[in-house]
Amino acid sequence: MSTESLRIVWVYPDLLSTYGDRGNALILARRARQRGLPIEVLEVRSDQRLPATADIYLVGGGEDGPQALGAQRLIADGSLHRAVAQGSVVFGVCAGYQLLGNSFFAKGTKCAGLELLDITSDRGETRAVGELTGDIDARLGIPPLSGFENHGGRTHLGPDVSPLARVTAGVGNDGASEGAWRGKLLGTYSHGPALARNPALADLLLRWATGIHQLPPLDDTWSDRLRSERRAAVAAARA
Ligand code: GLN
């Protein structure tokens, strides 16, 4: 932790917040406070300078135009690169995931990414919309991913990153793998408040940020029920 309280930055809520991305900040803050960890959440708009000393940066989803603008401003700002060099955690969702990579397409144009993750996104022939589930990389030690995706791009992973999950329903990166991670950077196509549906993923980010390996367990009955319900619905739809 950089200071006496955990600092979370929600990056550019004016551009990158298509699917209730605020939920990810709320979940992290709640789960930290329930463990007695002091936490502050800063919302930094795209016309403001990003602090380079926060513990966790949340980069959300967005339509093509805001995504391209967000990437340009983050590259010009440079603070996210400095934060990553100092060991900060970054969680990217959909557009926010794509723009962490080498390049992505927005409105038919190839755009430069931040080159923080070794991924490249191009255009898919169809839009991937619907439930997204997958078995998460065993090294991360968390239960299967359950989420919702809505994206046109397809993402290809380079040798410097690992897939977050193996797809069991939906498309993710390319129909086979979903998301990517390296060090304390993690991106997913699972949308919006992905952390509400995947509390273990929220705790993984908190563990990375605090260095606390054993966070006290919380009552996740409701999110567990929702995840089981959605997984059963996906299984029923495929039967
Ligand atoms: N514009 C990107 C795509 O369609 C990301 C969309 C999103 O964040 N939902 O691939």
C-alpha Rg value of the chain to the nearest Å: 17
How high is the ipTM of this complex?
0.94
pLDDT tens for each residue of 58-117 = 999 999 999 999 999 999 999 999 999 999 999 999 999 999 999 999 999 999 999 999
pTM of the shown model: 0.96
Count of helices and strands (H, E) across the chain: 7, 11
| Segments of the chain with pLDDT less than 70 | 1-3
Is 94 an annotated catalytic residue? Answer: yes
Domains and CATH numbers, the chain: 6-238 (3.40.50.880)
Cα 153 to ligand 1 centre (Å):
6
Is 191 an annotated catalytic residue? Answer: yes
Residue 67 near ligand 1, beta carbon < 6 Å: yes
Hey, what are 230's tokens? 């959605």
Cα–Cα–Cα angle for 148, 187, 36, rounded to 5 degrees: 90
Is 207 one of the annotated binding-site residues?
no
